[in-house]
């Protein structure tokens, strides 16, 4: 548990940011996160959700704050309002609006499909992002370009393969992964995606429903990219109903070759899991690479 000095510092910074008195009356730890520590802090008239981590990781919270603010600015889909990021002598922190979350239902899933399509339709000027951020705890490189295949090759696939090699994964995985990287253009023949603002880490654990029945997404890893990457990740671990996909496709139909590219896009996340959690993801990554390479025959 953080010290009283940490909470006092956060409370004072909150008062400055909101121009409202905030004296903490209750602190509840929140389980579920494996990267940050989560807490609900409450005063007599308000409550907030707080994330804490090491002081030197403040840039991670800055990027999350920026991503949430940019999604909110589109007025398309609900996110927790970002209030403040900063640091104390012991921790970096992020303060968000407190929202009680519930499992989605048919209505909220349909709303999520419609609103995510609306988010993806907002035009953007380039592929990349204004700053680097993280995917899990892994750095996510967002160097801007106007060429999507080059962005995906350099900043996503090659970066994760390089990390895997540094982490001791050798042989076929790296060799076949590099072969896939060198033939990446094949998967974009006749397909020219437009830059969309992406959530970037849209698995079922980062989407829910509010008490009012409204769809909400959170914990983003935002950048501008091919909208298919968001949809692909919703399929990686499951948890999204057919209502979500039906409404999304009615609002913003996917390209016919999406079913192949989704494996390419989800390979990024499986390689990231390999680098974060170890060899239990190696065979899955290899199978995905082999499947993609078979498309070249």
Q: Could you tell me if residue 230 is inside a domain?
A: yes
Q: Could you tell me if residue 12 is inside a domain?
A: no
Question: Which residue is catalytic, options 109, 201, 219, 230?
Answer: 201
DSSP one-letter code for 210: -
Q: Are residues 176 and 48 in the same domain?
A: no
Q: What's the rounded Cα separation, in Å, for the pair 246 and 181?
A: 32
Q: Could you tell me if residue 55 is inside a domain?
A: yes
Sorting pLDDT into bands at 50, 70 and 90, what band is 33? low
Q: Could you tell me if residue 16 is inside a domain?
A: no
Q: Are residues 175 and 276 in the same domain?
A: yes
Domain limits for position 136? 106-294
Assess contact for 220 and 135: CB atoms under 8 A.
no
Note the pTM of the prediction, 2 decimals. 0.95
Q: Could you tell me if residue 180 is inside a domain?
A: yes
What is the count of structural domains for the chain? 2
Query: Strands, DSSP E only, in 103-193?
Result: 133-135, 138-140
274 contacts: CB under 8 Å, gap ≥ 6: 160, 164, 167, 169, 281, 282, 285
10 contacts: CB under 8 Å, gap ≥ 6: 41, 50, 86, 88, 93, 95
User: Phi first, then psi: what are they for 38, rounded to 5°?
Assistant: -115, 145
What is residue 239's three-state secondary structure?
Answer: coil
Q: What's the rounded Cα separation, in Å, for the pair 21 and 11?
A: 9
Q: Are residues 170 and 279 in the same domain?
A: yes
Query: Mean per-residue pLDDT for 172-177?
Result: 97
Q: Inform me whether the pLDDT recorded for 297 exceeds 80.
A: no
Sorting pLDDT into bands at 50, 70 and 90, what band is 120? very high
Looking up residue 273, the CATH number of its domain turns out to be: 3.90.1200.10
Structure-token pair, residue 163: 């990390």
Looking up residue 67, the CATH number of its domain turns out to be: 3.30.200.20
Can 158 be counted among the known catalytic residues?
no
- Among residues 61, 77, 97, the one where a domain terminates is 97
Sorting pLDDT into bands at 50, 70 and 90, what band is 32? low
Among candidates 21, 10, 24, 22, which has minimal Cα distance to 93?
10
Q: Could you tell me if residue 1 is inside a domain?
A: no
Q: Could you tell me if residue 11 is inside a domain?
A: no
Kindly report, residue by residue over 52-104, the tens digit of the pLDDT. 999 999 999 999 999 999 999 999 999 999 999 999 999 999 999 999 999 99
Q: Could you tell me if residue 222 is inside a domain?
A: yes
């Amino acid at each position: 548990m953080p010290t009283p000095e940490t909470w006092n510092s956060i409370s004072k910074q909150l008062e400055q940011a909101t121009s409202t008195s905030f004296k903490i009356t209750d602190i509840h730890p929140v389980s579920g996160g494996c990267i940050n520590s989560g807490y609900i802090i409450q005063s007599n008239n308000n409550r907030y959700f707080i994330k804490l981590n090491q002081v030197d990781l403040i840039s991670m919270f800055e990027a999350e704050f920026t991503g949430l603010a940019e999604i909110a600015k589109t007025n398309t889909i609900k996110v927790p309002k970002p209030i403040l990021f900063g640091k104390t002598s012991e921790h970096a922190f992020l303060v968000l609006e407190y929202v009680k979350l519930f499992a989605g239902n048919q209505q909220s899933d349909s709303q999520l499909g419609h609103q995510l399509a609306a988010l993806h339709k907002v035009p953007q000027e380039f592929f990349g992002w204004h700053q680097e951020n993280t995917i899990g705890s892994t750095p996510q490189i967002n160097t801007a370009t106007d060429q999507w295949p080059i962005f995906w090759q350099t900043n996503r696939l090659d970066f994760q393969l390089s990390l895997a090699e540094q982490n001791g994964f050798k042989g076929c995985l790296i060799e076949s992964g590099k072969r896939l990287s060198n033939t990446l253009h094949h998967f974009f023949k006749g397909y020219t995606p437009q830059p969309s603002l992406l959530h970037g880490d849209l698995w079922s654990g980062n989407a829910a429903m509010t008490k009012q029945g409204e769809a909400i997404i959170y914990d983003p890893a935002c950048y501008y990219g091919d909208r298919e990457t968001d949809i692909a990740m919703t399929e990686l671990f499951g948890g999204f109903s057919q209502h979500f996909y039906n409404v999304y496709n009615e609002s913003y139909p996917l390209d016919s070759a999406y079913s192949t590219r989704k494996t390419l896009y989800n390979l990024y996340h499986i390689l990231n899991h390999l680098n974060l959690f170890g060899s239990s993801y190696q065979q899955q990554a290899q199978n995905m690479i082999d499947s993609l390479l078979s498309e070249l025959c």
